[in-house]
């Protein structure tokens, strides 16, 4: 849709939207508890202190357990939605993660679902009664779509995005819309409308971006399943920073129609939409519920590829000599920016737990020209030189934020490209993909790669400047799944003394690390598969988690 420009001063726009959000939280019954003016840096324990026990029990249940109880009538959708509305409202007061709550429409939907189950003795679909949170720029009929720009406030979606229609068909309830950054191109979530979303484990750290509202909301269990988008790490960064699961699917598996954003129609680097979840099974449920509806019948660009059952053990295939081992390539360092000590400890802890298992083979996986991958992808992100982003920012007079400036104006690869330059970069992209395929298919071909989700745990605000551990897989279009290890950063993760940085980016990342800054930050990792092997990644993580004793839910 063409976006109308709101010519009001951005501060007035922000004040009106903040008041609207305040009213939607105030409309929740029972009332959302207030919070103290002075809070600890780690606010994850506060919901248990302020919310009733029945709300805690519901909201701390994973989606698969809630669905089981909803489908049998042991829990009503009304009770579940009410609980999540309360906890989401509290989560927003603690971390600024919600753009608005939808109590009236959510409870109307929940009552309909409860009445349907009571009358027909069957559910609407596989997600019957389950609350799902939604990143704000996914269009929802009758609601504002601003994509993080103050000048776009006042644009109203005329219909639901296709993904929402399909999830609705599956029986879910939409109850919360979450925050996102200016330009949708940060591994941070801050904009001139709502301000900065913080990390619940340490509010001095970022919740990640661009789906950081979703990340913080799930991290505080104000949601069990949410929708994010990802073009360079925007699902996986928030999932990692907040200790939850997040899947970047292969492109063209889930429908993208109905998103508010700049540069719509650009195909140089294709964004994806996907789930964040407090459990691994929630990822599977989300994907299956959508793909079982054959979305390619409605959005013809999608690949007609059914979702395979990931509960079957198909990874250990017979090869004539017994079970074939699951080969895990370990890429602990991309050769450009060395990860911080907690991340390296997380990888070593997991590898130590897996390497003696008879069904697992651990194989060192060397990086292949990851700096070249960043040059290509960062050149293709903004083929117009960032003109649409800059115009949307300037229209309201809002300031360009530090990480917007970093990616748009401080990035030497961003310039307006001619058609011939786009063609040349596209050839380079395809050449790199072919070379990486050969790299993967080496003598010791692996099934999946275990790698960091970022160069450290959640960084301080305005400091998430290195995208390489996530954008690498966007360029290659490989499915990648972030997961919590159950570990947290601590004072035992000492600074590497005398380290000599490899380059400017590595030096910047090294200087960020101070153990006391990162105490309590979740240590998350990433599992990567090859194109269209999304199910294998989910299944491999389930197997790895069960062997290593990792949490399958947050």
Q: Is 233 annotated as a binding residue?
A: yes
**184 annotated among ligand-binding-site residues:** yes
- The DSSP 8-state label assigned to residue 416 in this structure reads B
Q: Hey, which residues are catalytic here?
A: 135, 210, 234
Strand order in the sheet with 245-248: 98-101, 173-178, 131-135, 225-230, 272-277, 245-248, 480-488, 522-528, 448-452, 326-330, 360-364
Query: In sequence order, what are the beta bridge partners of 323?
Result: 318
Angle (nearest 5°) at CA 255 between 249 and 259? 105
User: CB count, 10 Å around CB of 86?
Assistant: 27
How many angstroms separate the CA atoms of 413 and 421, rounded? 12
- For 462, counting Cβ atoms within 10 Å of its Cβ (0-12 exposed, 13-18 middle, 19+ buried), the class is middle
Question: What are phi and psi for residue 110, nearest 5 degrees?
Answer: -60, -40
User: Annotated binding residue at 210?
Assistant: yes
Q: Which secondary-structure segment (H or E) carries 273?
A: strand 272-277
Dist. CA 416–CA 380, nearest whole Å: 10
- Token pair belonging to 95: 């971390």
Residue of 424, 414, 420, 413 lying closest to 371 (CA atoms): 413
Cα–Cα distance between 97 and 371 in angstroms, integer? 33
Q: How far apart are CA 226 and CA 282, in angstroms?
A: 10
How many whole angstroms separate alpha carbon 337 and alpha carbon 481? Answer: 21
- Report the DSSP beta bridge partners of residue 245: 277
Q: At what angle do helices 341-354 and 534-548 cross, to 10 degrees?
A: 80
Residue 259 among known ligand-binding residues:
no
CA-based end-to-end distance of the chain = 38
Please give the full DSSP string across 430-462, using - where no structure is assigned: HHHHHHHHHHHTSTT--SEEEEESSSSSSPBTT
Q: Map tokens 């389950």 to a residue.
A: 130
CA angle 339, 344, 347 (to 5 degrees): 125
3-state secondary structure 117-180: HHHHCCCCCCCCCCEEEEECCECCCCCECCCCCHHHCCCECCCCCHHHHHHHHCCCEEEEEECC
Please tell me the distance from the alpha carbon of residue 206 to that of residue 460, in angstroms, as a whole number: 6
Q: What is the DSSP letter of 279?
A: B
Buried b (16+ CB within 10 A) or exposed e, 337-361: bbbbbbbbbbbebbbeebeeeeebb
> Which residues carry a binding-site annotation for substrate?
184, 210, 231-234
């Amino acid at each position: 849709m063409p976006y109308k420009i709101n010519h009001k001063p951005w501060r007035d726009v922000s004040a009106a939207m903040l008041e609207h959000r305040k009213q939607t939280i105030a409309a929740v019954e029972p009332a959302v508890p207030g919070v103290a003016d002075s809070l600890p840096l780690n606010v994850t324990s506060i919901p248990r202190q302020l919310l009733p026990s029945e709300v805690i029990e519901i909201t701390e249940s994973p989606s698969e357990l809630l669905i089981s109880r909803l489908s049998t009538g042991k829990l009503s959708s009304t009770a579940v939605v009410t609980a999540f509305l309360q906890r989401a409202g509290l989560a927003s007061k603690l971390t600024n993660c919600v753009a608005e709550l939808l109590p009236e429409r959510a409870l109307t939907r929940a009552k309909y679902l409860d009445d349907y189950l009571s009358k027909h003795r069957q559910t609407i679909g596989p997600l019957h009664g389950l609350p799902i949170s939604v990143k704000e720029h996914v269009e929802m009929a009758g609601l504002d779509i601003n994509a993080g720009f103050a000048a776009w406030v006042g644009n109203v979606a005329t219909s639901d995005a296709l993904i929402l229609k399909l999830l609705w068909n599956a029986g879910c309830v939409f109850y919360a819309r979450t925050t996102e950054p200016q330009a949708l191109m940060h591994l941070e979530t801050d904009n001139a409308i709502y301000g900065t979303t913080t990390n619940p484990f340490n509010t001095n750290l970022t919740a990640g971006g661009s789906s950081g509202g979703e990340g913080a909301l799930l991290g505080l269990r104000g949601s069990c399943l949410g929708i994010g988008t990802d073009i360079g790490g925007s699902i996986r960064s928030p999932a990692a920073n907040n200790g939850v699961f997040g899947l970047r699917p292969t492109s063209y598996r889930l429908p993208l129609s109905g998103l508010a954003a700049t540069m719509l129609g650009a195909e140089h680097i294709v964004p994806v939409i996907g789930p964040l979840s407090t459990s691994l099974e929630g990822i599977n449920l989300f994907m299956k519920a959508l793909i079982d509806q054959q979305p390619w019948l409605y959005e013809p660009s999608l690949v007609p590829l059914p979702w395979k059952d990931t509960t079957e053990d198909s990874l250990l295939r017979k090869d004539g000599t017994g079970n074939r081992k699951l080969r895990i390539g370990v890429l602990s360092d991309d050769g450009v920016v060395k990860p911080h000590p907690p991340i390296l400890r997380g990888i070593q802890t997991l590898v130590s737990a897996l390497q003696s298992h008879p069904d697992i083979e651990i194989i060192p996986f060397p990086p292949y020209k990851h700096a070249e991958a960043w040059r290509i992808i960062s050149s293709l992100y903004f083929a117009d030189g960032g003109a649409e982003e800059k115009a949307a920012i300037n229209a309201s007079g809002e300031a360009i934020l530090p990480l917007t400036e970093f990616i748009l104006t401080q990035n030497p690869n961003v310039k307006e490209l001619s058609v011939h330059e786009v063609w040349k970069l596209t050839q380079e992209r395809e050449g790199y993909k072919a070379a990486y395929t050969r790299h993967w298919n080496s003598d010791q071909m692996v099934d999946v790669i275990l790698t960091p989700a970022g160069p450290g745990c959640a960084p301080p605000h305005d400091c998430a400047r290195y995208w390489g551990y996530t954008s690498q897989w966007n360029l290659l279009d490989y499915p990648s799944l972030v997961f919590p290890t159950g570990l947290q950063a601590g004072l035992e993760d000492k600074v590497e003394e005398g380290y000599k940085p490899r380059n400017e980016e590595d030096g910047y990342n090294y200087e960020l690390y101070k153990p006391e800054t990162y105490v309590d930050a979740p240590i998350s990792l990433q599992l990567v598969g090859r194109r269209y092997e999304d199910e294998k990644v989910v299944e491999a993580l389930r197997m790895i988690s069960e062997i290593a004793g990792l949490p399958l839910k947050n």
